[in-house]
Structure formats: C-alpha cells, structure tokens
Amino acid sequence: MKQSGIFITFEGMDGSGKTTQMHRLADRLRAAGRTVLVTAEPGGPPIARAIRRIILDAANTEMSSVAEVLLYFASRAQNVDQWIRPALERGEVVLSDRFTDSSVVYQGVGRGLGVATILDLDRIACRGLKPDLTILVDVDPEPSLARARARNAAEPHPETRLDDESMDFHRRVHAAYHALAAAEPGRIKIIDGRAPIEDIERSVWEVVAPHV
C-alpha cells in the first residue's frame, strides 16, 4: 500500500446509499492498514457543523440562493483548512461524503447560479484542492428522493430544505451529475446504486484499491 495522502469523495442524490458505502470503504481501508479521516459536507469540524445546521434548517425558507452557496463554501473552507488538508499532509486517506461537485450540481445547476460561479468560489475556499477520486453512487431521482423524505419524516430534527425541492429540481441535479462524470471520466467513477449493498461495496473497492 502507498502511504501518500489521497482524497476520495462520495457523491450522489439524497437517499442513494453513498454514506453507507463510504463507511464500508473506511472499514476496508482501516483493515488494510491505512489511517482514514471521514468527513461529510456540509460539516466536518464543529464550526462547519454549526454552519450545516443553519443551511439545512427547514425553518430557513427565506434563505437566498447566494447566501446558501456562500454558507456551503464557508463550511467547506473550514473543513479543508482544519481537517482535510492537514490529514492529507499526514499521509492519510480522506473520505468526504460530498464536496464541491455537490455545489456544482445543486447550486450551480439546480438553483441556476451557474457552474462558473461555483468554480470561482471553489478557488477561494479550496485553493486548488481537488479530489483524487470521486465515487458517484447513481440512483434514479424518484426512488432516492422518496427514501430521503421517508428517512427525514422519522427524524426528530429533520433536515429538509433540499428534500422539499420539486422533482424537476432533483431531475436536473441528477442530469448534472451525469454531465460532470462525462466531462471528468478519469476522476469520477459511476457505480450503480441499485445493486445489492454488498455488490456496491465490492465495486467501490475495485475502483479504489489501485489508488491506495
């Protein structure tokens, strides 16, 4: 196994099962002797998690699209500076549940802010840090949204602002993920999220193993 830092992100629609897969990958990597930092966006260190609560609070219906995207990048900047970059410098594997690709598809395309704006913000917040590898857990928007909404309905403090968006919004996000993967096939690997969990886990490992 190599001992240099590697940055791997998981992307996909809400309810795609990406979080489960990320944790399974973390277990495999640790079993293989790697030190792994697991983070999730928006979130990570305490300041970034506090920003997450503001962004996803279902009561914040008046939040403007620009305020929203700046908060995502404020959270990301904190995560990059406090957790991700130091871990990579220590030679660890960093796994992040979502990163800038989420802002490209949800805010750039879904909210219509434009991809160029998102990439400008990325330059400020991440200063050149890009994932080495991105796993896109692909599921159709209809079943994944239904799953995410059912999960939130069962939560005492649900995070629902994006789940409340229309089906049309989620279809645009889904198409944008595919466009991203087509534009960067070397970095972004699509994994079929409809397969049984164990099969998906194996597929993720096949993609990741040569990089670690």
Q: How far is the CB of 169 from ligand TMP (least distance, A)?
A: 10
Pick the closer one to ligand TMP by CB: 184 or 206. Answer: 184
Smallest distance from ligand TMP to CB 97, Å: 6
Contacts of 183 (CB under 8 A, 6+ apart): none
Please identify, using beta-carbon distances, which residue of 21 and 103 lies nearer to ligand TMP: 103
Pair 7, 134: CB distance under 8 Å: no
Q: How far is the CB of 124 from ligand TMP (least distance, A)?
A: 14
CA gap 61, 117 in Å, rounded: 23
The residue (of 34 and 149) whose beta carbon lies closer to ligand TMP is: 149
Residues that bind ligand TMP in the complex, under the rule CB under 6 A: 14, 40-42, 72, 97-98, 102-103, 106-107, 162
β-strands 133-138, 93-97: how paired?
Answer: unpaired
- Distance in angstroms (rounded) separating the CA atoms of residues 89 and 85: 6
Report the nearest approach of ligand TMP to the CB of residue 111 (Å): 8
104 closest CA partner among 18, 211, 203, 184 = 184
In 84-197, the DSSP E strands lie at: 93-97, 133-138, 188-192
What 3-state class would DSSP assign to 50? helix
| Smallest distance from ligand TMP to CB 128, Å | 18
**Which lies closer to ligand TMP via its Cβ, residue 106 or residue 212?**
106
Residue number, nearest CB to ligand TMP:
106
Give the residue from 105, 120, 130 showing the smallest Cα distance to 180: 105
Closest CB to ligand TMP among residues 41, 92: 41
**Which is closer to ligand TMP, CB of 34 or CB of 161?**
161
> Measuring CA to CA, how many Å separate 69 from each of 74, 79, 201?
9, 15, 31
Are the beta carbons of 44 and 209 closer than 8 angstroms? Answer: no
Q: How far is the CB of 3 from ligand TMP (least distance, A)?
A: 29
